Structure 1
Amino acid sequence: MGTTKSQDKTNHLKTLGQGGQTEYQLEGPHSGILETFPNNFPGRPYIVNVEFPEYTSLCPMTGQPDFGTIIMEYVPDQRIVESKSFKLYMFAYRNHQSFMETIANTMLDDFVKALDPLWCRVKGLFSPRGATTLHVFAEHFKVDAPNIAEVRSVVSEWKRENNRHGA
């Protein structure tokens, strides 16, 4: 029995490299690390949920490590994020110093820049430090999308069904 190949267009992807070699960009987080490929179902609002439970960065005041889970949820328009590039983007935060609120909002800005999604939410579920747990949620809707009412309905239902961590 032979192998089959989907209709996904992947020729332009660079992160995975040739022969499986990974191209690491360690100069810090930026939207250019995120690679995308075409959405084969642009007229259908559906949710993509990507979780990264091994997130680390550094406190800008103490230099101490912060840990957490980053969850990116989005309704794609024309582009989908390539998952390995998402992982490398998260790795780029390891030596980055920033407050958690800034991190979640910067990630949202980078995802919106790379994907131009119909909707996107970043959930930063940070591990307790000093007996205090901090969760940061940042959200974006593409308000000029022609099917924004349908997108909002899909997102609302998703939130109802997946109400983890209070949002």
Structure 2
Amino acid sequence: MDQKNLTTQKADAIQSSVLEVVSYDYCNKRNIEVNIKQPEFTSLCPMTGLPDFASIYIQYIPDKHIVELKSLKYYLLQYRNVGIFYEHLVNVILDHLVEKVKPVQMTIIGDFTPRGGIQTTVKATYPESRNS
């Protein structure tokens, strides 16, 4: 198959406007941790156009809002035709969700199926905690 015939979109095709939030009624009463798993995530390798499969884990502590799950499902489905590196993918998802949800803390983990015998797991966290 000629790789040039494989159509991939760029990451800027992802519309974060699909994401919706709802009020978290207990924001002043207690902290909770929300854990979401999308075990059937698909994106495309930006080099070959071949599919990449992963489980995407979203962990966060909400402040005033929580993500509406149906909108999250549709948001993540947009990546099916997007060519994006694993390391970029978790950062794009994190940036979009932090912008909408405005959590106290959030972590995105991409656990990708092996490709060429190499298993890759990538994690991005907000707020950023870099060791200088």
With normalisation by structure 1, the TM-score equals: 0.67
Matching residue of 2:77: 91
Identify which of 30, 33, 38 aligns with 2:18.
33
2: CA distance between counterparts of 1:75 and 1:66? 28
* Distance in 2 (alpha carbons) for counterparts of 1:141 and 1:63: 32
SS of the residue aligned with 1:97?
coil
Which residue of the partner structure matches residue 56 of structure 2? Answer: 70
- Mapped to 2, the partners of 1:68 and 1:129 lie a distance apart of 11
Match of 1:82 in 2: 68
| Offset at residue 68 of structure 1 (A) | 0.4
Residue segments in structure 2 that go unaligned for 5+ positions in a row: 1-11
SS of corresponding position for 2:14: coil
Partner SS, residue 137 of structure 1: strand
Give how far 1:28 is off: 3.6
Report the 3-state secondary structure (helix = DSSP H, G, I; strand = E; otherwise coil) of the residue aligned with 2:107.
strand
What secondary structure, in the 3-state scheme, does the structure 2 residue paired with 1:90 have? helix
In the alignment of these two chains, the number of paired residues is 117
Q: 1:111 aligns with which of 92, 97, 101?
A: 97
2:27 corresponds to: 42
Displacement of 1:29 in angstroms is 2.1
What's the CA shift for 1:125?
A: 0.4
AA aligned to 1:81 is V
Q: Which has the higher contact order (CA 8 A, sep 6+)?
A: 2
Alignment RMSD (CA, Å): 1.6
Q: Which runs of 5+ in 1 are unaligned?
A: 1-26, 143-167
Q: TM-score, normalised by structure 2?
A: 0.84
Larger radius of gyration between Structure 1 and Structure 2: 1
**What corresponds to 2:44 in structure 1?**
58
